[in-house]
A and B are shown apart, each in its own frame.
Chain A
Amino acid sequence: MSSKKTIQHSEAAARFNKDTERVNWHDETLWFVREKRDRSANQIADWELLRETASKIKNNVLSNIHDYLIEFEANAKKNGITVHWAADAKEHNEIVHSIMAKHDVKQMVKSKSMLTEECHLNDYLAEKGIEVIDSDLGEYIVQLRKEPPSHIVLPAIHLKKEDVSETFHEHLGTEKGNIDPQYLTESARLSLRNTFLTRKVALTGVNFAIAETGEIVVCTNEGNADMGAHLADVHIACMGFEKLIPQRKHLGVFLRLLARSATGQPITTFSSHFKKPREGKEIHIVIVDNGRSTQLGREDFRNSLKCIRCGACMNTCPVYRRSGGHSYHNAVAGPIGSILAPNLDMSKNADLPFASTLCGSCTNVCPVKIDIHDQLYKWRQVLVKEGHTPTSKTVAMKTMATVLANPTIFNIAGKSGRFVMKNLPGLVNNKMNKWYDQREMPAVPQESFREWYKKNSREAKAKDNE
């Protein structure tokens, strides 16, 4: 835990849990989204076959991604698209800025791109004097509040309408105290419409990139990616290289799974296929590595690159639902974020694979069948081995191993434990003891099971009867 700035997941979760009413709302709302996903999935007889097919397509992609990337670039170029390659976040940000600089543009409208969150593009561009406006409503709200998104699909899910009302009152001059979502959305629509109409550069993410045709697909419900891209002179689309799929027809599989897994919708409102720029306009695609090629080489963890960013694993996760996205201190939160983040920075993100009960629900809902909970478990082992877990935990585990392995020590430990709990409860019932946090210690038994067994086992009784 080297980084001083990062607040550990457990600590951040404890803070999030102080507002019980809000945590309960957060928990129930996300579970409601999970239930919508179930209803939607259950209507498709072939759902499991679809998941299996999607998983196989992604496995094929991972095993042949080198050639697919070359094929994609060649086809995109044929379509008149400019393709850039970025080894890391820094290079990605520099490329985006260089495109802005070439056109001498100081303002950008952006639709949702978790990659640009990962690369901290907004901060970088702000330093260069470029104004970025996020146009997805949820992202717009959190941007005005100077917060990161707390969920990859529902960026403002940690907020209540009262919060949004206050933020909009401050920044957009909406009526104080008007919390009607219709009214608030309309206000944002009017403000952002003006943004769309005046920006020369639009940046979007990429949901799928097709090697066979060199086109990219961007999915939104709001239409914000399209409003930005079709009104701007320059469209920049940023993608991690794992977004590739081999052929156009594979979209049939992924578009059936994506929105149903994410929100329970049968498909997003818009699934836009960008193949060629408009006449006289430009499309730039930035293909980013930023640690992905390293993850590809980790046999136990490479499957995390199959992710299509639907967020189903977050909505179902009992830990995510009750700790909130911000507690994960990573662009992608929840179970999938917890297996992606240690690859980016093991030391900073060593707490995340422990933010799980390993219940496996994430794995069960994942549309591309990533073994998320297995990977969480495997990351724990890697992190302990490489010395990234806190000393208190390591010492406690080692002590426990010694105690459990030796009957004499186990016996003594049990006895002294019961003695202390009975006669010196203050030694146990205090803040130092993590087991005492948020729970009462149990009443002390008169004797241990071992002692009871010595008296009551058949042999003991037989002896008594002699």
Chain B
Amino acid sequence: MSSKADILKKIKQNQPALITDLPDLSVLGSEEFDVLETYKTVLKNIGGDPVEVGNYAEIIQYIKANYNLDKRLITTIPELSEIATLDWTNDDPHSLQDVELNVIKAHFGVAENSALWVTDDLLGQRVSPFIAQYLAIIVYKKDIIPTMHQAYEKIGNQEYGFGTFIAGPSKTADIEQSLVLGAHGARGLIVFLLD
């Protein structure tokens, strides 16, 4: 632990003598725009697919029509038990490697960047939104907020072990700047926007 003491001592000696004030954040995030429309546009721009639905039945219908139900579908949402399993949350996370589609809920979405806030109580397992081949996230339209400033106001002192913002499918442009969806995480992201 002697390095800690040395480092801190040196920092104390060398940091500026006067502590400067933290800026006021309340002046930020007051941009005005159509929150839902912006959310959908931004999501499409980064490779995600917004799907507006009225209820869970419509979500089930959509998944039945677009995914192979013979493959492994998982969810943390009891209303979707007809098409996806719920009993995987205490398994070894490695056992999720064959999941085709994972359907989860988000606390809220952010219009300016289409990010969705999820924490481990919604994920079932931390690795679930990353390891599945495809990901679908459900969010209420009323829970779309304008910017990241409102997002952190909403998060406040929320207690979690792990939380993440997810914006679109996993992607890379590391080969000659050519965009490829599905780097290591989900190859596609559907966002069900629920009334």
Q: Do A and B bind each other?
A: yes
Interface residues in chain A, defined as those with a beta carbon under 8 Å from any beta carbon in chain B: 29, 32-33, 44-46, 49-50, 52-53, 56-57, 59-60, 62-66, 69-70, 85-87, 91, 135-138, 141, 154-157, 159-161, 164, 181-182, 184-186, 189, 192-193, 196-197, 221-224, 226-227, 230-231, 241, 246, 248-253, 255-256, 263, 265-278, 287, 289, 293-294, 296-297, 302
B28 to chain A: closest residue by CB: A46
The answer on a CB contact under 8 Å between B22 and A56 is yes
The answer on a CB contact under 8 Å between A251 and B177 is no
> Whole-angstrom distance between the alpha carbons of A223 and B149 in the complex?
24
A256 to chain B: closest residue by CB: B148
The answer on a CB contact under 8 Å between B11 and A269 is no
The answer on a CB contact under 8 Å between B4 and A222 is no
Within 8 A of A (CB), among B23-66: 23, 25, 27-31, 42, 46
> Whole-angstrom distance between the alpha carbons of A440 and B155 in the complex?
64
Interface residues in B, total, Cβ within 8 A: 72
The answer on a CB contact under 8 Å between A224 and B14 is no
Other-chain contact of B183, A137, A154, A267 (Cβ < 8 Å): A137
Known: A69-B11, A273-B160, A276-B162. 18 other contacts (CB 8 A): A29-B177, A87-B7, A91-B3, A141-B175, A159-B176, A164-B176, A185-B180, A189-B184, A197-B94, A224-B183, A230-B127, A231-B94, A252-B152, A253-B28, A266-B114, A268-B167, A273-B163, A293-B11
Report whether over half of chain A's contact residues are helix, strand or loop; otherwise say mixed. Answer: helix
Other-chain contact of A64, B15, B28, B153 (Cβ < 8 Å): B15
Contacts of B186 in A (CB 8 A): 223
In the complex, B6 has a CB within 8 A of chain A: yes
B94 to chain A: closest residue by CB: A197
The answer on a CB contact under 8 Å between A63 and B126 is no
> Whole-angstrom distance between the alpha carbons of A302 and B15 in the complex?
9
> Whole-angstrom distance between the alpha carbons of A227 and B12 in the complex?
38
A252 with B11, Cβ < 8 A, contacts A63-B20, A197-B97 known? no
The answer on a CB contact under 8 Å between A221 and B28 is no
A265 to chain B: closest residue by CB: B46
The answer on a CB contact under 8 Å between B22 and A57 is yes
Contacts of B97 in A (CB 8 A): 193, 197
The answer on a CB contact under 8 Å between B20 and A50 is no
Contacts of B164 in A (CB 8 A): 226, 270-273
Contacts of B180 in A (CB 8 A): 181-182, 185
The answer on a CB contact under 8 Å between A85 and B1 is yes
Contacts of B174 in A (CB 8 A): 136-138, 141, 154-156, 185
Other-chain contact of A266, B8, B126, B167, B178 (Cβ < 8 Å): B167
Shortest distance between the CB of B162 and any CB in chain A (Å): 6
A60 with B22, Cβ < 8 A, contacts A189-B184, A241-B11, A275-B160 known? yes
- The residue in A85, A137, A223 that gathers the most chain B C-beta atoms within 10 A of its C-beta is A223
> Whole-angstrom distance between the alpha carbons of A91 and B172 in the complex?
33
Contacts of A197 in B (CB 8 A): 94, 97
In the complex, B130 has a CB within 8 A of chain A: yes
Other-chain contact of B31, A46, A138, A193, A224 (Cβ < 8 Å): A46
The answer on a CB contact under 8 Å between B28 and A50 is yes
The answer on a CB contact under 8 Å between B184 and A192 is yes
Shortest distance between the CB of A74 and any CB in chain B (Å): 12
The answer on a CB contact under 8 Å between B178 and A296 is no
The answer on a CB contact under 8 Å between B185 and A278 is no
> Whole-angstrom distance between the alpha carbons of A63 and B113 in the complex?
32
The answer on a CB contact under 8 Å between A271 and B165 is yes
B163 to chain A: closest residue by CB: A273
The answer on a CB contact under 8 Å between A59 and B20 is yes
A296 with B184, Cβ < 8 A, contacts A155-B174, A184-B175 known? no
> Whole-angstrom distance between the alpha carbons of A162 and B162 in the complex?
40
The answer on a CB contact under 8 Å between A296 and B177 is no
Shortest distance between the CB of B94 and any CB in chain A (Å): 6
Other-chain contact of B115, A157, A231, A267 (Cβ < 8 Å): A267
The answer on a CB contact under 8 Å between A266 and B46 is yes
The answer on a CB contact under 8 Å between A44 and B22 is no
The answer on a CB contact under 8 Å between B183 and A66 is no
A32 with B177, Cβ < 8 A, contacts A60-B19, A252-B29, A267-B167 known? yes
Contacts of A59 in B (CB 8 A): 20
> Whole-angstrom distance between the alpha carbons of A253 and B164 in the complex?
16
Nearest 3 A/B pairs, CB to CB: A223-B185, A297-B14, A266-B113
Other-chain contact of B25, A189, A249, A263, A276 (Cβ < 8 Å): A249
In the complex, B78 has a CB within 8 A of chain A: no
> Whole-angstrom distance between the alpha carbons of A273 and B160 in the complex?
9
> Whole-angstrom distance between the alpha carbons of A249 and B23 in the complex?
12
Contacts of B147 in A (CB 8 A): 252, 256
In the complex, B131 has a CB within 8 A of chain A: yes
Contacts of A181 in B (CB 8 A): 175-176, 178, 180
The answer on a CB contact under 8 Å between B170 and A137 is no
> Whole-angstrom distance between the alpha carbons of A261 and B44 in the complex?
20
A227 with B7, Cβ < 8 A, contacts A276-B162, A302-B16 known? no
Other-chain contact of B127, A231, A263, A275 (Cβ < 8 Å): A231
The answer on a CB contact under 8 Å between A296 and B14 is yes
> Whole-angstrom distance between the alpha carbons of A277 and B148 in the complex?
25
Contacts of B127 in A (CB 8 A): 226-227, 230-231
Shortest distance between the CB of B111 and any CB in chain A (Å): 10
> Whole-angstrom distance between the alpha carbons of A253 and B22 in the complex?
13
A293 with B184, Cβ < 8 A, contacts A60-B19, A221-B172, A271-B165 known? no
- The residue in B21, B166, B169, B176 that gathers the most chain A C-beta atoms within 10 A of its C-beta is B176
The contact string, 1 if C-beta is below 8 Å from chain A, for chain B 143-165, is 00001110111010000111111
> Whole-angstrom distance between the alpha carbons of A46 and B149 in the complex?
12
A185 with B165, Cβ < 8 A, contacts A50-B28, A137-B183 known? no
The answer on a CB contact under 8 Å between B185 and A269 is yes
The answer on a CB contact under 8 Å between B175 and A185 is yes
A222 with B93, Cβ < 8 A, contacts A60-B19, A227-B130, A252-B149 known? no
